[in-house]
Amino acid sequence: MDHCRQCNSTLKSDEKECWGCGAGVPEQNSRPSFNERFRKVVKVTFLMFAGLTVASLFVESLSFVKCISGLLVLFLVKNSADYMAEAKKG
């Protein structure tokens, strides 16, 4: 929960302007943070590996073991990245 810097009204996190005094609310999440981008990259790579793992069941040149271990590692990375992001939010 945020408070207006001018009049100390309670603000919803998605409010851009204070309802009490009309002061602009400084945006905290206007730029995606490094962690945010990192999570996106991990998510995309995770989905890619998920697709590869499924494909490796049908394509002989793809190693299923390699794909599934990559998928597992990414799953752990993704989980800890999510956990860190949640912990930051408090």
Residues of the shown chain interacting with Zn ion in the complex, contacts defined by CB under 5 A: 4, 6-7, 9, 18, 20-21, 23
Taking the least distance from each CB to Zn ion, the nearer of 26 and 90 is: 26
In the complex, least distance from residue 44 CB atom to Zn ion, rounded to whole angstroms:
40
CA distance 11 to 55: 48
Taking the least distance from each CB to Zn ion, the nearer of 24 and 51 is: 24
CA distance 87 to 13: 17
Matching residue, tokens 């207006």: 4
Taking the least distance from each CB to Zn ion, the nearer of 19 and 83 is: 19
Give the single-character DSSP code of 29.
S
